[in-house]
Copies of this chain bind each other. A is one copy, B any other.
Amino acid sequence: MVKLVVIGGDAAGMSAAAQVTRGAEPVEMVVFERGEQTSYAACGLPYLVAGLVPGAGDLVARSPEEHRRRGVDVRTGHEVVAIDTDARTVTVVALGETFTESYDHLLIATGASPVRPPLPNLDAAGVHVIHTIPDAVAVDQLISGRSPRRAVVVGGGYIGLEMVEAFLLRGLEVSLVEKLPQPMATLDPDMGALVAASLVDQGVDLHLGTGVQGFEVDDSGHVTAVVTEAGVLPADVVVLGLGNRPNVDLARQAGVPIGPTGAIVTDARMATPVPGVWAAGDCAQSHHRVTGGPAWIALGTHANKQGRVVGLNVSGTPAEFPGVIGTAVTKVGPTEIGRTGLNEQEAAAAGFDAVSGTVKGTSRAHYYPDGASMTVKVVAERPTGRMLGAQIVGGPDAAKRIDALAVGVWNQMTVADFEQLDLGYAPPFSPVWDPTLVAARMAERARHA
């Protein structure tokens, strides 16, 4: 019986392990997790702080005990500190002991860690990242315990916006500081401006194009202000949302190749170039189906799918991860955001001659109550009309409209074909011409302009 060792007990690692228990061939398996939890929903952490999730336990999809009951030997508090890819062993530290475990297959699923730039007083009390359940619980308890009045969020990406929403829901005054001239850097500037306008509408004190230089603290060491290029912002609590970096030190030290994205090189099976070594989830590089190049997008959906692919391969069923197209959705207050594929800037960077079409439409027939407005932008290749990407910013029912566009991008549809699609229409759900179809038409027109 072959033996699989998994490093990391979160989405990718546990998806692989769960799949192996159902596999075509029996596999001996052990999962080493350095923390105490498995399979927690990192994406849910802002909603725990917001008070929308009743308790931290609700974010644990499956506890170590539940995994064990299902036949997965998961050992928490076990840190893998070295990999020997020649001997096919890992060195594990647990409870002060160090031991060696052999493997036939090794899955590196070490995840990613939040970026923490070297700023003065970065480690002050009240300055947080939102990466683990203890991180979120700490902010929740800080809000409940200290009744802070002013929150500053540093970074206007997904986590940043979600934490803005969380603080607003908890009744705090919120400032958002972003170094770039727009929030949501994965959107084009025109679409990012719509997000910025929504933030201002929601009462957020917005500082774009503003770098952070450090933090001021009181005598107890608790943060009192964020020092920015544009002045000092008083702060009772600070959250950093500056993105993540893949955890690849262990892999690098073992000679497992790291790609240009900074994540571990994999093929379509999620195998690394080193025999017997696989990688999945937030530490793994994958393939971008639109650029054709490497991609690193740390998202729970990809981690789950990639882990499952490894589990299938290891247990005797050949499987491939087909790559990503960069689809993402989020919301901040009443404003929903969706994106897929390449934006105009990414398309240009990837060497595409791109055009775009943008339209403002509504979520429902104009006469049906409570329709929301939304702006949809579609990016297409000029010579062929091939859909390269799309972006949506709007009210309720806007974001998930990105899915139909994503399936179009995935299948390399042209905008002319997309416009003719047979999508679901009824007055409570869509105007006769859905804004996604009209945006595709506008992109088609732009090709000939």
Would you call A403 an interface residue if the criterion is a C-beta within 8 Å of the partner chain's C-beta atoms?
yes
Query: What is the CB-to-nearest-CB distance from A259 to chain B, in angstroms, rounded to a whole number?
Result: 19
Q: A424 contacts B367, CB within 8 Å?
A: no
Would you call A135 an interface residue if the criterion is a C-beta within 8 Å of the partner chain's C-beta atoms?
no
Docked complex: A314-359 residues within 8 A CB-CB of B: 321-331, 338, 340
Would you call A413 an interface residue if the criterion is a C-beta within 8 Å of the partner chain's C-beta atoms?
yes
Q: B432 contacts A300, CB within 8 Å?
A: yes
Q: A41 contacts B400, CB within 8 Å?
A: no
Copies of this chain in the oligomer: 2
Q: A423 contacts B406, CB within 8 Å?
A: yes
* Inter-chain contacts of A325 with B (CB < 8 A): 422
Q: B58 contacts A367, CB within 8 Å?
A: yes
Partner of A11, one of B305, B403, B426, B432: B432
Would you call A397 an interface residue if the criterion is a C-beta within 8 Å of the partner chain's C-beta atoms?
yes
Q: What is the interface residue range for chain A against chain B? A: 35 or more
Residue in chain B with minimal CB distance to A59 = B367
Q: A329 contacts B429, CB within 8 Å?
A: yes
* Inter-chain contacts of A365 with B (CB < 8 A): 41, 43-44
Query: What is the CB-to-nearest-CB distance from A376 to chain B, in angstroms, rounded to a whole number?
Result: 13
Distance between Cα atoms of A176 and B43 in the complex (Å) = 44
Distance between Cα atoms of A286 and B222 in the complex (Å) = 70
Docked complex: A9-40 residues within 8 A CB-CB of B: 11
Would you call A430 an interface residue if the criterion is a C-beta within 8 Å of the partner chain's C-beta atoms?
yes
Distance between Cα atoms of A407 and B402 in the complex (Å) = 12
Distance between Cα atoms of A441 and B52 in the complex (Å) = 31
Would you call A304 an interface residue if the criterion is a C-beta within 8 Å of the partner chain's C-beta atoms?
yes
Distance between Cα atoms of A53 and B368 in the complex (Å) = 6
Docked complex: A282-319 residues within 8 A CB-CB of B: 289, 299-302, 304-305
Chain A 411-424 interface mask (CB, 8 Å, partner B; 1/0): 10100010011111
- Given A11-B432, A432-B300: A422 and B404 interface contact (C-beta under 8 Å): no
- Given A325-B422, A413-B411, A422-B326: A44 and B404 interface contact (C-beta under 8 Å): no
Q: B399 contacts A424, CB within 8 Å?
A: yes
Q: B400 contacts A430, CB within 8 Å?
A: yes
Residues of A within 8 A of B (CB): 11, 41, 43-44, 47, 52-54, 58-59, 61, 158, 289, 299-302, 304-305, 321-331, 338, 340, 365-369, 397, 399-404, 406-408, 410-411, 413, 417, 420-430, 432-433
Would you give 17 A-B contacts (Cβ < 8 Å), ordered by A?
A41-B432, A44-B365, A44-B367, A52-B368, A58-B366, A61-B366, A322-B417, A323-B422, A325-B422, A327-B423, A329-B426, A331-B428, A331-B429, A340-B424, A403-B424, A407-B407, A407-B408
A322-B417, A338-B424 provided; 20 other pairs, C-beta below 8 A?
A43-B425, A44-B365, A52-B369, A299-B425, A302-B422, A304-B432, A327-B422, A329-B425, A329-B426, A331-B429, A397-B397, A399-B426, A400-B400, A400-B401, A400-B424, A404-B406, A406-B422, A407-B421, A407-B423, A411-B411
